[in-house]
């Protein structure tokens, strides 16, 4: 007899094309049937703690009935209105996002992080054009960074394996060295290395022609590229460099936003004043698709001209969907009501502390944390820091899954450097959930 799960797997193989996954007939996909809190259950009845919040996004956990009700109520009242006009949930959410950002921004809604970054790039270029600096079109990003899959966002992405077979991409995108302190030159302090990386950013701006640079885009900490966390001096210098050369600073908060970093937004950990902030994922805790590009009011003013083509000519059919906006508002309400931003900071500190023992394992080179995110860099040798080969990295992920814990890694980043395990559980995780994560990691790495 063919079981229901076997039937589903067969139909999955026949009809679905999975993201980021090489075809492997011997390794069928896990078909998830249910989620509650930090836990998911597959169609075979296996239960797992989702240590990645799916794709870094289910911040408030699974199965919140009030989120479903918020969507239902809005769909009954108004199922759709495009942002060519307006509607009440979009207005209320834009106001609430300004409150969370603590500054004066105008909000443009889209569907995904890639969309939000595409909008940011177009706004940056058009802003400079309409401010009498039409030569400013280049966007500077960092190697190892991820900013999306669409052609412009992929151009900004600094991960060569994501681009392979899709190039040539969009023109005008440059990349500089990230503050990857673990692999800094011998004898150089973390602070010195971070200052060096910032200096290289400024040199690139100058060498390319400072009057040709429109914007710098960066995550507060590089997440999917290997959990690379900068020193404060680096971020101070980036802000100074952008201000000095008239370059817009775009902060990609798609993963780091909405409490993931232990603050409302990741850039707040460094005291940055971004010109544009992009966000998605945790905006709705992935209950419905929605992203936003927040643009400082003074930049928005440049789009009010009466000349032909001075308005922003971009539209997204489902961006700012009423139900998505209503769900986002309910999500922010839950984050505030349950103190999940503060909870994230506490859980992150406890996870980092509980994971310190893993450094006893000969293949653990470094632990890096940013809020409730943990990165475990795996190496063949702690002295040489040679990256652990991918098949060996996958064994640790499989061992965790066998014990009921889902973790991930930086995938399709740079050849030979897909060796950083990543953990980012829901911010609503309980003390028992955290204990399970820490204990499982210890069992897998240390056998205790």
Q: What is the pLDDT of residue 24?
A: 78
The answer to pTM > 0.85 is yes
The answer regarding whether domain 65-337 maps to CATH 2.40.160.20 reads: no
Task: Assign 314 a pLDDT band (cuts: 50, 70, 90).
Answer: very high
Residue 283 — pLDDT band, cuts 50, 70, 90? very high
**Domain boundary assignment for the chain:** 4-60+339-446, 65-337
Q: Report the pLDDT averaged over residues 284-298.
A: 98
**pLDDT, the chain, mean:** 97
Nearest of 222, 214, 285, 289 to residue 250 by alpha carbon: 214
Of all residues in the chain, the percent with pLDDT exceeding 70 is 100
- Please give the average per-residue pLDDT across 58-68, as a whole number: 98
Report the pLDDT value the prediction gives residue 280, as an integer from 0 to 100. Answer: 98
Look at residue 27 in the predicted model and tell me its pLDDT: 83
pLDDT, average across residues 182-189: 97
Over residues 281-291, the mean pLDDT reads 98
Is residue 21's pLDDT more than 80? yes
Q: What is the pLDDT of residue 324?
A: 98
Average pLDDT on 393-403 reads 98
Reported as a single tens digit per residue, the pLDDT across 117-154 is: 999 999 999 999 999 999 999 999 999 999 999 999 99
Q: What is the 3-state secondary structure (H, E, C) of the chain?
A: CCCHHHHHHHHHHHHCCCCCCCCCCCCCCCCEEEEEECEEEECCCCEEEECCHHHHCCCCCECCHHHHHHHHHHHHHCCCCCCCCCCHHHHHHHHHHHHHHCCCEEEEEECCHHHHHHHHHHHHHHHHHHCCCCCCCEEEEECCCCCCCCHHHHHHCCCHHHHCCCCCCCCCEEEECCCCHHHCCCCCCHHHHHHHHHHHHHHHHHHHCHHHEEEEEECCCECCCCCECCCHHHHHHHHHHHHHHCCEEEEECCCCCCCCCCCCCHHHHCCCCCCEEEECHHHCCCCCCCEEEEEEHHHHHHHCCCCCCCCCCCCCCCCCCHHHHHHHHHHHHHHHHCCHHHHHHHHHHHHHHHHHHHHHCCCEEEEEECCCCEEEEEECCCCCCCECCHHHHHHHHHHHHHCCEECEECCCCCCCCCCEEEECCCCCCCHHHHHHHHHHHHHHHHCC
Residue 23 has pLDDT above 90, yes or no: no
Q: Is the pLDDT of residue 159 over 80?
A: yes
pLDDT in tens, 237-253: 999 999 999 999 999 99
Under a CB-based contact definition with an 8 Å cutoff, are residues 356 and 367 in contact? yes
Q: Which CATH architecture has domain 4-60+339-446?
A: Alpha-Beta Complex (3.90)
């Amino acid at each position: 007899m063919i079981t229901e799960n076997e039937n589903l797997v067969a139909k999955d193989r026949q009809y679905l094309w999975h993201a980021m996954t090489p075809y492997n007939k011997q390794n069928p996909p896990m078909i998830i049937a249910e989620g509650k809190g930090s836990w998911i259950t597959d169609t075979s009845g296996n239960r797992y703690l989702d240590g990645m919040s799916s794709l870094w996004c289910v911040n408030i956990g699974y199965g919140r009935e009030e989120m479903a009700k918020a969507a239902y109520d809005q769909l009954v009242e108004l199922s759709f209105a495009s942002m060519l006009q307006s509607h009440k949930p979009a207005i209320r959410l834009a106001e609430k996002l300004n409150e969370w950002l603590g500054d004066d921004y105008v909000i443009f809604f889209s569907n995904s992080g890639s969309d939000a970054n595409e909008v940011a790039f177009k706004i940056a270029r058009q802003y400079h054009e309409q401010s009498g600096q039409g030569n400013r079109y280049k966007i500077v990003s960092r190697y190892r960074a991820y900013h999306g899959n669409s052609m412009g966002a992929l151009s900004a992405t600094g991960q060569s394996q994501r681009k392979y077979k899709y190039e040539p991409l969009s023109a005008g995108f440059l990349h500089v060295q990230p503050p990857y302190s673990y692999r800094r030159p011998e004898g150089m302090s973390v602070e010195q290395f971070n200052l060096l990386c910032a200096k290289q950013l400024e040199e690139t701006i100058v060498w390319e022609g400072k009057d040709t640079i429109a914007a710098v885009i960066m995550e507060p900490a590089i997440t999917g590229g290997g959990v690379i966390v900068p020193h404060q001096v680096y971020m101070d210098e980036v802000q100074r460099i952008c201000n000095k050369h008239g370059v817009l600073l775009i902060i990609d908060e798609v993963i780091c936003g909405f409490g993931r970093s232990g603050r409302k937004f990741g850039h707040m950990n460094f005291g940055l004043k971004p010109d544009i902030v992009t966000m998605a994922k945790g905006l709705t805790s992935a209950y419905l698709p929605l992203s936003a590009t927040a643009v400082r009011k003074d930049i928005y003013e440049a789009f009010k001209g009466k000349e032909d083509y001075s308005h922003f000519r971009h539209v997204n059919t489902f961006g700012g969907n009423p139900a998505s906006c209503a769900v986002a508002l309910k999500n922010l309400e839950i984050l505030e009501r349950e103190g999940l931003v503060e909870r994230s900071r506490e859980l992150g500190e406890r996870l980092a502390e509980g994971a310190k023992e893993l450094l006893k394992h000969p293949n653990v080179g470094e632990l890096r944390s940013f809020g409730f995110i943990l990165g475990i860099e795996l190496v063949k040798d702690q002295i040489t820091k040679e990256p652990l080969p991918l098949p060996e990295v996958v064994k640790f992920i499989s061992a965790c899954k066998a014990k009921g814990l889902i973790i991930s890694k930086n995938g399709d980043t740079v050849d030979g450097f897909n060796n950083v395990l990543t953990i980012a559980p829901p911010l609503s995780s309980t003390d028992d959930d955290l204990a399970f994560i820490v204990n499982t990691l210890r069992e897998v790495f240390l056998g205790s």
